[in-house]
Chain A
Amino acid sequence: DVKVTQSSRYLVKRTGEKVFLECVQDMDHENMFWYRQDPGLGLRLIYFSYDVKMKEKGDIPEGYSVSREKKERFSLILESASTNQTSMYLCASSLSGYFRGTEAFFGQGTRLTVV
């Protein structure tokens, strides 16, 4: 089974802190993603990566950056946390290739609260 593991289930951070969310997948997937989920807004894509050191902005990249130094690891960075970044953050991975890679596997999520 594919496993996507996020480093923390719950985090509480202060406004202005730099926050790192880590994600590791064990199935050698090329693609990795960071989404956030907010009530009534569904899943919104922040950033994704289709290869090591490659990254693409998603729909809401402002206030975030990412790092992918190794194929299995994808980090989301909140440069200066703000209260409007309080959310559920979900990491996902998938294979490359249309149809073959379409199904994304998600981690368990990190509930981040910024106070």
Chain B
Amino acid sequence: DQQVKQNSPSLSVQEGRISILNCDYTNSMFDYFLWYKKYPAEGPTFLISISSIKDKNEDGRFTVFLNKSAKHLSLHIVPSQPGDSAVYFCATPPGRGSTLGRLYFGRGTQLTVWP
């Protein structure tokens, strides 16, 4: 069973507009979340993270929002640029005290930003 779900396999947005990528998780014990970005033929690169003690974390054009009661997080990209076109994965570690170091990944959302 998937621990982290990204229910939209793709998203298409016009340049300059907002991109919103969504992620749901199953376990209320998860308390740290990460977003990765992946271009074709490259490895994923870390983008932004959020701890459960916060409900928002911002880094330039990227903002992640966390709604713990809904077990939902979202990544907002404003303004979207063509170079943002990539697959975005949300991820979470299993929780404190559990298996060392691994991450659960969602299936990813392909973002396409068109001019």
Contacts and interface: CB of A to CB of B under 8 A. Distances in A.
Interface string A62-100: 000000000000000000000000000010101010110
Q: Interface residues of B: mostly helix, strand, loop or mixed?
A: loop
Contact of B100 (A4, A31, A106, A109): A31
Interface residues of A, number: 33
Interface in B1-46: 6, 9, 32, 34, 38, 41-46
A108 to B, nearest CB: 5
A55 B104 CA distance: 18
A107 B89 contact: no
Nearest to A54: B100
A76 B91 CA distance: 23
A104 interface: yes
Contact of A98 (B45, B91, B93, B108): B93
A104 B107 CA distance: 17
Contacts of B91: 43
A108 B42 contact: yes
Given A96-B101, A102-B49, 16 more contacts: A33-B102, A40-B9, A41-B107, A42-B107, A43-B89, A43-B105, A45-B102, A50-B100, A50-B101, A56-B99, A90-B44, A98-B96, A101-B100, A106-B43, A108-B42, A111-B41
